[in-house]
């Protein structure tokens, strides 16, 4: 499907959902689709305070999301009623703000799609009004647009524009906030290589300022690299050391003396003392091995198609290293996922 077709379909669906919208609201939709929320994010504290005040008087919609035409989504305040905290909602909004270098070009492309839909009588708006207002908008430098009075009266909009990269994991944020309101949480992220486990770990670190620990820091020591160990399902990591040095102290709310395995020297580095935070994330394949999984409060499986996995691995590795992934590591991972029913044992799963 072409970019223009995507724009047309999304705008047509948006009009069906909100038939009382005015031309001004169409302009707002394509502005947010092109520029996101960059124009209204002064600081995290200011954003949080404003959302908290707005929440007190909000009229909650039955809608949770309105997909914009681009990399953003309108997330309605109703998601707060599901369990997402105001602090997390504000943080996601704040982190979504960025300068869109091609925003104006994207906006003008979307204006062309609007013009087509009006000409075809799909959007029931005056074409002459559109041309006049679009020309004036351009002359003014395409400033941010407010909702029309009609739209506000009929639909009582209460939402924030949030980047799709965060919206994709919104069920996880909701569940985490519910659990964090009751105490500390240890989360495991398992799944296929190339799926984005590390990326999700970094995202959670940005949103929650949590501790993120990596299974890749616990490769097998030289003395463990025996034919018998490699023949074990899920035997590719030093799960014994990870259990004794990380999960058991963590379960007792004690500091962790974290020792990373250095793949270049095949030695374990000096320990780094890590004090547990309210949220601790364990990221990496084999984190949901049965001898470890009982120590987690929540677990996530990241799945990815074989084609997309292959493309990502070839893109980020040398040809020689990619061959090792395909011939050695991925078959062992897949055996572990299959034999230990990892995906079904996780609390939730995301297909990338």
Residue 237 and residue 230: Cα distance in Å, rounded?
10
Q: Does residue 247 sit in the same domain as residue 286? A: yes
Residue 263: the pLDDT is 86
Q: pLDDT tens, 98-142?
A: 877 788 999 999 999 999 999 999 999 999 999 999 999 999 999
For residues 146 and 196, membership in a common domain is answered with: no
For the segment 218-252, what is each residue's pLDDT rounded down to a tens digit?
Answer: 999 999 999 999 999 999 999 999 999 999 999 99
Q: Which residue carries 């309605």 as its tokens?
A: 76
| Statement: residue 8 has pLDDT above 80 | yes
Domain boundary among 163, 179, 202: 163
Give the per-residue pLDDT at 294: 96
- Model pLDDT, residue 38: 65
Instruction: Note the helical H segments in the chain.
Output: 3-17, 23-35, 44-56, 78-82, 86-96, 103-119, 127-139, 149-155, 164-167, 170-180, 197-208, 227-231, 239-242, 248-251, 306-316, 319-324, 330-339, 342-345
CATH of the domain at 305: 3.40.50.300
Rounded mean pLDDT, 29-54: 87
Residues 145 and 197 in one domain: no
**Residue 3: band (very low, low, confident or very high) from pLDDT cuts 50, 70, 90:** low
Mark whether 96 and 196 lie in a shared domain: no
Q: Which band of pLDDT confidence, cut at 50, 70 and 90, is reported for residue 41?
A: confident
Give the residue numbers spanning the domain of 76. 3-163
The model's confidence at residue 307, banded by pLDDT at 50, 70 and 90, is very high
In terms of domains, do 18 and 111 share one? yes
**Boundary (domain end) residue, out of 141, 163, 185:** 163
Strands 185-191 vs 298-303: parallel, antiparallel or unpaired: parallel
Domain-ending residue, one of 163, 196, 224 = 163
- Shared domain for 235 and 145, answered yes or no, is no
Angle between helices 103-119 and 23-35 (to 10 degrees): 150
Q: According to the model, what pLDDT value does residue 37 have? A: 77
pLDDT in the model for residue 330:
92
Question: In terms of domains, do 119 and 174 share one?
Answer: no
Dihedral sign of CA atoms 302, 306, 312, 316 in order: positive
pTM for this predicted structure: 0.93
57 and 98 fall within a common domain: yes
For residue 100, what is the DSSP state? Answer: -
Task: Give me 139's structure tokens.
Answer: 């002359």
């Amino acid at each position: 499907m072409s970019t223009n077709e995507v724009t047309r379909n999304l705008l047509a669906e948006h009009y069906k959902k909100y038939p009382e919208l005015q031309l001004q609201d169409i302009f707002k939709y394509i502005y947010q689709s092109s520029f996101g929320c960059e124009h209204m994010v002064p600081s995290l504290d200011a954003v949080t305070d404003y959302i908290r005040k707005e929440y007190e008087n909000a009229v909650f919609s039955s809608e949770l999301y309105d997909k914009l035409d681009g990399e953003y989504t309108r997330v309605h305040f109703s998601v707060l009623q599901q369990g997402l905290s105001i602090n997390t909602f504000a943080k996601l909004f704040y982190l979504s703000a960025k300068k869109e270098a091609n925003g104006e070009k994207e906006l003008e492309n979307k204006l062309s799609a609007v013009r087509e839909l009006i000409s075809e009588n799909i959007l029931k708006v005056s074409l002459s009004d559109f041309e006049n207002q679009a020309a004036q908008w351009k002359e003014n430098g395409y400033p941010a647009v407010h909702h029309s009075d009609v739209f506000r009266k009929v639909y009582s909009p209460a939402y924030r524009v949030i980047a799709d990269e965060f919206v994709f994991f919104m069920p996880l944020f909701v569940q985490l906030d519910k659990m964090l309101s009751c105490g500390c949480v240890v989360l495991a992220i398992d799944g296929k290589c190339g799926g984005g486990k590390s990326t999700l770990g970094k995202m959670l670190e940005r949103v929650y300022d949590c501790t993120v620990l990596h299974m890749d820091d616990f490769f097998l020591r030289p003395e463990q690299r025996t034919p018998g160990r490699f023949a074990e399902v899920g035997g590719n990591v030093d799960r014994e050391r990870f259990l004794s040095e990380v999960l058991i102290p963590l379960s007792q709310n004690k500091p962790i003396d974290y020792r990373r395995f250095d793949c270049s020297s095949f030695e374990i580095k000096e320990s780094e003392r890590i004090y547990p935070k309210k949220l601790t994330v364990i990221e990496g394949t084999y984190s949901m091995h049965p001898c470890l999984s009982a120590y987690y409060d929540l677990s996530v499986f990241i799945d990815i198609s074989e084609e997309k996995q292959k493309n990502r691995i070839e893109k980020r590795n040398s040809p020689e290293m990619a061959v090792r992934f395909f011939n050695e590591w991925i078959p062992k991972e897949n055996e572990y996922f299959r034999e230990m029913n990892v995906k079904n044992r996780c609390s939730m799963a995301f297909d990338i």
